[in-house]
Each structure stands twice: as structure tokens, then as C-alpha cells.
Structure 1
Amino acid sequence: MFEISEIKGMIFDCYGTLIDIDTDENDYYTYDTVSKWLKYKGVKIDPDSLKSEYNSKIRDKMEASKEQHPDIRVEEIFADICGENAIWKSDTMYLGIETSKVFRSASLRRLHPFRESIAILNKYDNVPKCLVSNGQRVFSEKELRFLGLYEFFDHVIFSSDLRYKKPDPRIFKIALDRLNLKPGEVLSIGDTVENDIIAPQEMGMQAMHIHDAWRALLD
């Protein structure tokens, strides 16, 4: 068992670790809401077609990637959809960004921080921290800022920035480089065993499941 006094840096996962979230990206309502919003942006696409195109474009991007654990940028997916279904000219990249936010808000069912995780962040405020998330910066950063969590971190890394995601060790190597620390000096905290426990441990880091961290670090 490690001594917390030996830890010089922390890496945190986001969803399921800091934020309790529930979304439904399969619900007809999600795509119906986005489809209606797009009418006012000059994009004509019905909810069923929007859902089909969204899923097929993500699948195609993933299959075309050479990464073992690929990720995409959802704003690029929506930019392509908007460009292909526009009835008047617009800035499709900007529209893709805005559509991503509408899509997220339409799919959102629950969003709030775990109070125990906030307590850890406050208790170890003097320890450098890096957030490493398999998330989309286009809306995940907004959620972190809205919940007052973003400013706890010295560095924030989203898989969409890199186009590959955890458990790829490169994402953790970037975090270590930004923290300027050795693996043995860093504690990884998360809720997914493969991504947040095993992968960091294989690199020489300490690692804890978030539920264990609540008990061990808040005593």
C-alpha cells in the first residue's frame, strides 16, 4: 500500500469519477430535438436520418483509424452532416460545434458532481493534478466548467484532442510529461478497471478505484 505523502501528482478520470452523468444517445427525442433546432440553421434532416448518419459516420471514422483505441471529434461528424444537408450556405465547422452542444443537452438526463470527489480535490488542493478523460472537449469542458471542476486541474486532456483514448498508454505518457513527474510519483484515480487502474499500473503508477479513493483519502 502506498503512502499518500509519497504522491507528488494525481491523474483523475472524469465521468463516473468526478461527474455522475446519464445520457441517452439512442432516444428518438434526442435526435428530434436536434433536427428541429437544425431547421433554424438551414439544415434539413429528419430525426431518423440524423441518427442513422450520425452512427454510420462515427463507425466509418473508427474503422478507418489506424489506432488501436480510436476516438473521433463529434463536432466534425456533425459538421459533415450539416454540410451534406444544408439548404443555405453556412459555416459548417462552427455549426458542427454548436450542434454538438445541442445534441449533448438533448441527450442529457443527469449531470452532477460526486461530493466525495470534490472533497478529495479540495483536501489535496496542493497536489498537481491532470484530468485524463475519454471525452469530447467540445462539450465536456463546458460541463466541467459549469460544475466548478475545471479549475481544480493544472492540465486537462480529452481523448478527442488526440484521436485515441484510454487505455492507450500514450495518453498517460502525455499526462506524466505535463505534470513533469515519474510514474511512481503519480496516483491515478478512476472508475474503469481497464482504463484507470490496469493501464496506469502497467506504466508504474499507483492506481485506485474511485470508491476506494473515497474511503482511503478522506479518512
Structure 2
Amino acid sequence: MTIKGVTFDWWGTIAVIPARSDSGTMRAFRIGRLEVLLREQGLRPAPSVLSGAYDRQGERLESMWAEHRELPPDEQVRTFMRFAGLDENDAGVVTAVDEAIHGAIVSRPPATFPDVEETLRSLSEHGFRIGLISNTGRSWGRYLTQVQNAAGFGRYFQARIYSDELRVRKPDPRIFEAALDGLGLPAAEVAHVGDDVIADVAGAKAVGMRAVWFNTGFWKGATTDRADAEIRGHGELPRLLEKWR
């Protein structure tokens, strides 16, 4: 079957997954920003309280993600506020938590892999329909869209599907099916590119898409015999997809 479309994973495929030290820096940035915004609301919780709430919220999120479940954005905010002892009915505080914790990525965008924009431009010019399928973390889809648009390559995506909006995570078939609907193509005519052999490769294959494993070496010991192809750089992708047309 001719390939007419391609979908990309975000974290680990387009955006570089931050190192553990960088994650600590982002944690400090988020909490520091929240302290500033809460002071504007007349509140001065101890930094240790906010740090503790952040870590407890993270534990809750990780436990759900391990089961491929998603905690909706509004519940993520409420979870943090409960752990921090903040009033969940205070709209100003809700906005402060939202912007400081979950919107921080707009001010501190991640690095992207080499040749991302050039590859997306080439695929677009050659008539491929392009989509994005992303499991989100604390950085929700609406903020990731801002990051992509600011980077200049958001315009190439004809469909962007985020787990926090759909409320299911890869490898759930529904998130891939939503992207296929957005592109207006059947699964057999779309290839998915991702770094995770379970969420991306196995997930895409389960719905009938072709799967391209973006093997960066990040996942130590990861192997798969299910991918239709393996690449180590975005620059390899246009030639590969042309062979499948």
C-alpha cells in the first residue's frame, strides 16, 4: 500500500528528552515561578510545601502513566493544589498553578533533534500529510502547540493529537485512530515515527500503520522486530518514505 502520510511522536523523536539534571532545573523554575504568581495573589506558602506538592503530584502522574492512563489537565491542577493546601475554588490560584507548572515549557522549550524542520518541510513539499501523536506529561498539548509554532515547524502538522486532550495514551489504539481521522487517511497509508518500541512501534503496528523506529540509543537495551524500518536521524526519513510511495 502506498504511504501518503506520516505521524511523529514528540518527546524523544522531535523534542529531546531532558537529562535528569535538566529536569531538576525545570522543577526549580516551575516552583520559583509559582512562588512569584502566588505572591501576586497574596499567598506565601513555604517553598518546601510547593516542592512537596510537586513531587507528590509527579508520583500520582507516574503511577497513571505506567498504566497508560491520563490525568486530565484540570485534575492535574487540582491534585497539585490539594497537596499544597491551596484553595481549589480560587480561580486566580488555579491560573497561577496552570501557568507556572504546566505552561513553563513555553518559556523553557526543549531542544529538538537535528534536521527536524528541514525534514518536515521536505515531506510537506512532496505531498505527505503530516501529523503529531504525543503522550504529554506536565506540559499539555496546548502549550506544546505554542512551542512548535514558535519554533517555526508547527505549520507542517495537519493533525495534532495529545493524550491530555484525548485522555488516552499511546499505545492505546484510539490515539492513533484519532490522528488517522485528522489526516483523513486509512492506517495502511500512514507511517508512524517514534522512539519508543512499545508506545510508538507496537502501538502503530496494532492499528495497521507502518512503524519507523527512531533509534537514538536513549532507551538502553531496547530492541524490536516489529518496526518496518529503523532510522537514527531525521534526514534519513524523506528517502525512506519515498520508497514506500
Answer whether TM exceeds 0.5 for this pair. yes
The corresponding residue for 1:112 is: 111
Q: Kindly, what percent of the aligned residue pairs are identical? A: 23
1:148 aligns with 2:152: yes
CA distance 1:96–1:53, shift in 2 (3 Å): same
Q: Distance in 2 between matches of 1:105 and 1:128?
A: 26
The corresponding residue for 2:34 is: 34
What's the CA shift for 1:45?
2.2
Unaligned runs of 5+ in 1: none
- Of 176, 198, 201, the match for 2:202: 198
User: How big is each residue's C-alpha offset from its partner over 1:52-98, in whole Å with a ceiling of 9 and x where there is no partner?
Assistant: 213323544676x7x94112245643356458436x95434433332
The corresponding residue for 2:226 is: none
State the AA in 1 paired with 2:141: R
The corresponding residue for 1:13 is: 9
| C-alpha RMSD of the superposition | 3.2
Q: Contact 1:34 / 1:102 at 8 angstroms: preserved in 2?
A: no
What's the CA shift for 1:51?
2.3
**Aligned to 1:196, what secondary structure does the other structure show?**
helix
Q: Distance in 1 between matches of 2:164 and 2:195?
A: 19
CA distance 1:215–1:68, shift in 2 (3 Å): same
What's the CA shift for 1:216?
4.6
Bigger strand fraction: 1
The corresponding residue for 2:55 is: 55
- Of 157, 179, 184, the match for 2:183: 179
User: How big is each residue's C-alpha offset from its partner over 1:103-135, in whole Å with a ceiling of 9 and x where there is no partner?
Assistant: 4468x4x72333322222111102111110012
State the AA in 2 paired with 1:15: W
TM-score calculated relative to the size of structure 1: 0.79
Unaligned runs of 5+ in 2: 216-230, 241-245
State the AA in 2 paired with 1:134: N
State the AA in 1 paired with 2:213: H
The corresponding residue for 1:78 is: 77
Q: Distance in 2 between matches of 1:21 and 1:61?
A: 17
CA distance 1:178–1:61, shift in 2 (3 Å): same
CA distance 1:139–1:157, shift in 2 (3 Å): same
